[in-house]
């Protein structure tokens, strides 16, 4: 089984599909688009552009930026304002991490068993949020 072992394994363009199951809103949101990871900011800059399809609303474009940096045994991921987000240990088929954003809680599960196709599932819970977001990445 092939697995990513370093930051540069993620460099490049990735097609992505996303499904958000929002329990509070009682709806499923779909998205597709592209993520590009390119050198910069002490590692890789992750830029994402997606088309969101929210039931009952016109399609809209969403963007996100993160900074991915090499860390002991893997990758440390930061928000675009340089606040720490979470870490990703490499060399394993599955990896989990947690991010607290009081009063909400974010749990990530990465799956690299089909590398270079990979996915991440976020389970978000708290007094204001209750959703699961699954994103699949395929190298372009």
For the chain, the domains span 7-133
Task: Looking at the structure, give the CATH architecture of the domain made up of residues 7-133.
Answer: Beta Barrel (2.40)
Here the tokens at position 102 are: 């009081």
pLDDT digits (tens, 9 = 90+) for 30-88: 999 999 999 998 999 999 999 999 999 999 999 999 999 999 989 999 999 999 999 99
Label residue 111 by pLDDT band (50, 70, 90). very high
- What global pTM score does this model have? 0.94
Q: Is 17 left (phi over 0), alpha (psi -120 to 50) or beta?
A: beta
> How far, in Å, are 31, 61, 73, 105, 126 from residue 53 at the CA level?
6, 9, 37, 25, 24
């Amino acid at each position: 089984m092939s697995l990513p072992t370093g930051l540069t394994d993620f460099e490049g363009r990735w097609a992505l599909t996303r499904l958000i199951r929002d329990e509070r809103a009682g709806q499923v949101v779909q998205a597709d688009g592209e993520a590009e990871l390119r050198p910069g900011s002490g590692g890789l800059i992750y830029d994402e552009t997606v088309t969101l399809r929210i039931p009952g609303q016109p399609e809209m474009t969403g963007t996100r930026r993160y900074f991915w940096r090499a860390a002991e045994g893997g990758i440390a991921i930061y928000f675009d304002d340089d606040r720490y987000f979470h870490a990703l240990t490499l060399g394993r088929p599955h990896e989990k991490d947690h991010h607290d954003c009081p009063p909400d809680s974010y749990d990530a599960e990465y799956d690299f068993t089909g590398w270079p196709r990979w996915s991440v599932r976020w389970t978000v819970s708290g007094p204001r949020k209750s959703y699961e977001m699954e994103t699949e990445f395929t190298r372009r």
